[in-house]
Structures are given as C-alpha cells and as structure tokens.
Amino acid sequence: MESSHFWNYGQCTKYSLANLEAGALALKIDLIGRTQQRKQLVRKKQPGCRHAGKAKG
C-alpha cells in the first residue's frame, strides 16, 4: 500500500513540475513580448532618433 501511495505522489509531482515549467515558459514569452512592445513605444515617442519608425526584422 505504501508503494502505490508513493507512486501516486511521484505522478503528482511529475505533472506539477510539467505545469510549473509550462507556466515559466509562458511567463518568459510574455515578458519578451512586453519588452518588445515597450521598445517600440519608446522608438515611436522619439522622432529624432535614427531608429524611429524602423521595424527590426
């Protein structure tokens, strides 16, 4: 009985870790997107800047 309980705990931990990793990846992607948006807004607000209006590609 103890071994099946341990196995269930291991399964639970495995799925929790997968959820945690997926959430961390989603946060990282969101942060990258927000950083890019912020940089674009800063460029648009500085019309004298040589990079103003140019899209990076």
Structure pTM?
0.53
Count: domains in the chain: 1
**Is residue 9 assigned to a domain?**
no
**Is residue 21 assigned to a domain?**
yes
**Is residue 36 assigned to a domain?**
yes
**Is residue 24 assigned to a domain?**
yes
Per-block mean pLDDT, blocks of 10 residues, the chain (57 long): 51 78 95 95 77 54
**Is residue 23 assigned to a domain?**
yes
The neighbour count for residue 43, using CB atoms within 10 Å, is 16
Torsion over CA: 29, 35, 37, 39 (sign): negative
**Is residue 57 assigned to a domain?**
no
- State the pLDDT at residue 2: 46
Residue 34 domain boundaries? 15-44
**Is residue 51 assigned to a domain?**
no
